[in-house]
Structure 1
Amino acid sequence: MGTIKRDWLDLSKSFPLQVSDNIGVVPDFNRLHWHDSLEINYVKQGEGIYLINGRTYTMREGDIILLGPNDLHRAFETRDLVLQVTVFDSALFAADQRYEPDILAPFTEMNIRFDNLLDRDNPAIGELRGLLLDMQREYRTRADSYRAVMRAQLARFLAYVNRNFSKAPVGSASRLRGKQSLARSVLQAIHEDPVRAWTLQELADIAHLSPSRFSAIFKQTVGTSPLNYCLQIRIGQAIQLLESTERKIIDIAAECGFHNLSNFNRVFSTHVGRTPSQVREGRQKQ
């Protein structure tokens, strides 16, 4: 079985920033995917579920979700979901990093200083919502100098996230940043053999660490435990097969490393919020 592939987003080279509304969950969002571009999701309406790097987030109206480079993610609609999606290339702020090196920290230090789902109770969240809506208005009307205005609004958004939503001091973040490299080789191995029944010892051996030390570092940098991440990858493969083939569910479960159908159904429902049969039926209705 192939690995989960990277998406290549078609952003304009002259101005790599775009804003759009997704009503419901379009197919590209409804499958497990990742990309190099940076992404901001604002829930304008309704409710849904986001699976990000093996963690499940419930999203509702007013929530803001940040997706960094290489974040493995997938969205589900639970009720009348409308997402404003802002996507941009980090190159947009290449010059700014000379004067403000941490401008992209909300993405580059994800799971170190920042969470994917911004705290909905933070008093600063309202101002962030306003900036995202203002950016979309500029993008739609395209009045004179709209690119400069949008870029300034996005820079302000990032600065306010940096200022108000960091969960760790900058000093501790710099110490934690080095730990990310320890997880990268492990993530690569998992993605090269996604349905393998990895053990914690095998993964720790790749990082040349004890299982307990490796598990702590992996959770700190990725946001979930190593085995839960592996489980989510296997579930993602099962979803792709449910949606793209007519194979029996028991055969899909076995190919994805689940040798007990009732256990597969239970684990799948816990992580996805729907049964395998419901995922297949939903795809057939699209």
Structure 2
Amino acid sequence: MQIIIQVLVDAFSLGGLYALTALGIGLIFSVMRLANFAHAEFVTVAAYVLFALSGQPIVIGIAASVLVTLALAVLTERLAFRPLRNADPATMLISSFSVSMFLQRLLVFLVGSRIKTLDPLPMLGQAVTIGGVQVSSLKLVTILACAVLLAALTLFLKKTRFGLQMRAAAENFTMSRLVGVRANAVIAAAFALSGVLAAVVALLFAAQTGFVQPRFGVQLVIIAFVATVIGGLGNLLGAAVGGFLVGVVSILLQAFLPPELRPFREAFLFVVVILVLLVRPQGLFPARGLKERV
């Protein structure tokens, strides 16, 4: 029973991080049909802001991290993607790679490539006892934070004007523009939300790993892209569900694979992904109007 509780906490904690990352990616894809690989650098920049302000009260660090990442996401959309909005998908994809590489190299130039120690939430280092099992308080807070953010994002998409416009744009962007949805505002709001989600993921992921370096967000975002594909490209619910599923499968593989095979956990994870896509090549929750594009 103790092992089951520990595995479940680990699975939901990692799954929540993947879900939030996949949502940040899915928000952009749903309205622009753009796979934004620069999302990894949004996460990394947020972590470096936390590192730069590590001597300040944590509230200041979190606020600065959110503001800087939000501004970076909106600026990236305005300078790199808006001028190419009518270009073909391959051009948009190359632009996304270019922004990612530029930000990564800029970080190396500014802060170096060495790994830096970062513990933004030291007060959560203690374990708590649940049912006789000691569980990391950081992982419990991660699960709670992910649940709250997912609920808040759901309310935003269903109850606010911008949220409804985003949902309409995700379903049929051309039709939504014809009925008065402002493309620039909706896309800028999607990038802003993705920046906020990236900052939250950076905070929680840095607290779990204890370090930051220029490729800090790359592995996380690669797995989140896989989760987005599994859930269904363009479907925000699918992105969240895909993230949780990938996190749960990853932890189960780590827990139950023989010790000599655990270093190859990602290989087994991708085998599971391939099997899922063979059965459901369009993802678990395919988006309607996927062929629509801005």
Q: TM-score, normalised by structure 2?
A: 0.25
| Higher strand content, 1 or 2 | 1
| Structure with greater contact order relative to length (CA < 8 Å, sep ≥ 6) | 2
